Structure 1
Amino acid sequence: MNIENWIGIAIVAVIILIILSVFLRFVPVGLWITAYFSGVKVKIGTLIGMRLRRVIPHQIIRPLIKATKAGLDLKIDELEAHYLAGGNINTVIDALIAAHRANIELEFTQAAAIDLAGRNVFEAVQVSVNPKVIVTPDIAAVAKDGIEIIAKAKVTVRANIERLVGGAGEDTIIARVGEGIVTTVGSANKHSDVLENPDLISRTVLGKGLDAGTAFEILSIDIADVDVGRNIGAKLQTEQAEADKNIAQAKAEERRSMAIAQEQEMRAETQKMRARVVEAEAEVPLAMAQALRSGNLGVMDYYKMQNINADTDMRSSISDQANGESEE
């Protein structure tokens, strides 16, 4: 053979390899062989159809192989529909296998609905088999005697698969338990009653049916810790007394301000009256002069009036001096 023949054979071989690699990439023959020997009957055309529908075949076939080996009878169309809906095939298959081993009735449609609802269906099955303990934060409540009680509870719950879709979660359980603790402590006459019988809280809270409408079933509520907090009653009384004192001081200050204002007003009025008296006294000499000129007042009358004023001033001076000596 000449060089041209070798070049032609090489080109044909490369083309064949490219076509074969493209075919094997588009048609997962290896996955089909694995499924066939695992007992999963799937056609090559079905795998090609998955490629055309933009479905990754191994994300459907491998979970199906796992389910078949676990004894579950599932259809490829169901798995593919759930995949196209945005579900997690592996989580659903693991949940179905766990439920099948634990003798829990769980259908694929129900598991798929729980998965599409945003809940971890495999974890829910595990919690249904092995109950979960939820620890509440410190919850403060006040008894009728004003003493604060701080309690912490451990809530043992089991997942209720039938209520996983649309049921409330752990936060609702914690909130309801906290409400029950506050109600129970608040109805106690003395805080010592709660300290002596902490199981009173558990019995009261359990009797309220707190798991209604939730995705869990409450098995037990155990009070893990109970502490005595502040004397809220005494604190409120102290704050009330302080507030009353501030109000009284404010009212007293208001009365003092009003008294000062009235005093200043009276002083101003007195000054006005004195000014009027001074003005009137200033007019007396003018009036007397006018009376003397007109003949209505004689000179002797004027001297008598002056003597009377001098006598009055002397008597006033003697009286003031006598009062001062008596005080000494």
Structure 2
Amino acid sequence: MAVFGLDPGLVAVIFVILAVIVISVLLSFFPIMLWISALASGVRVGIITLFAMRLRRVVPSRIVNPLIKATKAGLGLSINQLESHFLAGGNVDRVVNALIAAQRANIPLPFERAAAIDLAGRDVLQAVQMSVNPKVIETPIVSAVAKDGIEVKVRARVTVRANIDRLVGGAGEDTIIARIGEGIVSTVGSSNSHKDVLENPDKISRTVLEKGLDAGTAFEILSIDIADVDVGKNIGAHLQTEQAEADKKIAQAKAEERRAMAVAQEQENKAKVVEMEARVVESESQVPLAMAEALRSGKLGVMDYLNMKNIEADTSMRSSLGDSTDPKNK
């Protein structure tokens, strides 16, 4: 019998296609296989709940599969807890795995704390694993100087265990490494000689470990082992050499300053001598004028003038006789 004048075979194909489309749409909104898998695992979840997850843009498999694992492990979690954590941006599967690992290791870890750790950006599963199997952190080479001025290079290995209670808000590995480096510098710096550090490297471990460097961090320090100790440069001698070089330059600068002052003083004295000689010459040039004026005015007689010339000649002769450098006196 034809429907709307169509061939019965064609009508059957259309019905099959429509049925497949309807079933596909229903299965996309109603995850039947996931619901059956949950029921087979003993997880009571309604098909309407799974449909509501679709409407809330929650992937049902990311909730139901972890819930199946939690139920099998006897954790007693609810679907609302897992869904709220998923909507908050958390990794539900990782949280459930961490809870199962903590239960097996007999570590008290409630779901709320695990969810808070996961939302804080930390790997809660790795934290649980680190609580069971401590992690070894190797510090970079730390350079410190003993009191004798010798540089000592130290590298340490720190064994830490995650502290579940301080994972939220606790400092990370970088803080541990920085504090260990500070402790090494302080311990080496308080040593009288670098030989004391080389002879007793465990002194560094004991001193640093006693300071409680894990306070406020997400880890608990179990041990600090010195992996390597090397002797570096003689920092004290290097500093003394630089200080001596600086003192030398300062002394040279001061000597140059004194020399310049001496040269300036010498030039000033020469200028004064030249000035005095000029004044003497000027004064001597006034003598003939004064004598001429005295002769004109009658204050000086001719005989007085001749007597003065005789005295000058006698004085000049006596000076020449007393001069040992004069060739005539030899």
* Structure 2 length-normalised TM: 0.90
Q: Select 2:238's aligned residue among 208, 212, 235.
A: 235
Cα drift, residue 270 of structure 1: 2.1
2:61 corresponds, among 58, 63, 75, to 58
Structure 1 CA distance, aligned partners of 2:269 and 2:29? 109
Deviations 1:21-45 (A, max 9, x none): 2332233223222222232221122
Contact persistence 2:320–2:326 (CA under 8 A): no
- Find the aligned partners of 2:30 and 2:295 in 1 and give their Cα distance: 146
Change (3 A) 1:19 1:268: farther
| Residue identity opposite 1:230 in structure 2 | K
**Corresponding residue of 1:5:** 6
Opposite residue 275 of structure 1, the aligned amino acid is A
Paired position in structure 1 for 2:270: 267
**Structure 1: how far apart are the matches of 2:306 and 2:29?**
146
The amino acid of 1:5's aligned partner reads L
Does residue 283 (structure 1) correspond to residue 286 (structure 2)? The answer is yes
User: Which secondary structure state, in structure 1, belongs to the residue aligned with residue 136 of structure 2?
Assistant: strand
What is the CA deviation profile of residues 246-304 of structure 1, one whole-angstrom value per residue up to 9, with x for unaligned ones?
22222212211211221222222222222222222232232222222222223333333
Residue 190 of structure 1 corresponds to which residue in structure 2?
Answer: 193
Shift of 1:165: 1.0
Question: Is 1:171 paired with 2:169?
Answer: no
Please give the alpha-carbon distance, in whole angstroms, between the structure 2 residues aligned to 1:292 and 1:41.
152
1:107 to 89, 100, 110: 110
Match of 2:88 among 71, 81, 85: 85
SS in 2 for 1:214: coil
Aligned to 1:247: 250
Distance 1:324 1:170, change over 3 A: farther
Gaps in structure 1 of 5+ consecutive residues: none
Distance 1:119 1:314 in 2: 116
What are the residue-to-residue correspondences of 1:119-198 with 2, within 5 Å? Answer: 119-198=122-201
SS at match of 1:5: coil
Q: Secondary structure at the match of 1:110?
A: helix
SS at match of 1:41: coil
TM-score calculated relative to the size of structure 1: 0.90
Q: How many residues align?
A: 325
> Share of identical aligned residues, percent?
69
Deviation at 1:78, TM superposition (A): 0.9
**1:89 partner letter:** V
Question: In 1, Cα distance between the equivalents of 2:48 and 2:268?
Answer: 109
